[in-house]
Amino acid sequence: MMKMKFLTLIKLKNMYNNRIAEMILQKYGKDSLIIYCKIECFKSKMIDDELREIQGYQPSDFNYDAEWWNNKYKELTNDINH
């Protein structure tokens, strides 16, 4: 049951992150989305690192978000380089 809740949460976060990225892209353009990806990744990684220091290693939403936004950044910058 817990695994199913976690997988549902991941699907929702993925959908939510995709929606945010699409809205930023439409409203502000690709360059702004690239900057947002880096900032959001930095913020999420910082929070995740601090939680790990306090709680020990436990997977968190912040780790997922850091990876998701970093992957989106790589996807966007790869498009620019090709």
d(CA 7, CA 3): 6
- Residuewise pLDDT in 10s, the chain (82 residues): 445 555 566 677 788 999 999 999 999 999 999 999 999 999 999 999 998 888 776 767 888 899 999 999 999 999 766 4
Range of the domain at 9: 2-81
For the whole model, what pTM was predicted? 0.80
Number of structural domains the chain divides into: 1
- Provide long-range contacts, Cβ within 8 A and 24+ apart, for 36-39: 37/69, 37/70, 37/72, 37/73, 37/76, 38/69, 38/73
pLDDT at 1: 47
d(CA 35, CA 47): 19
- Say if residues 52 and 58 touch (Cβ distance below 8 Å): yes
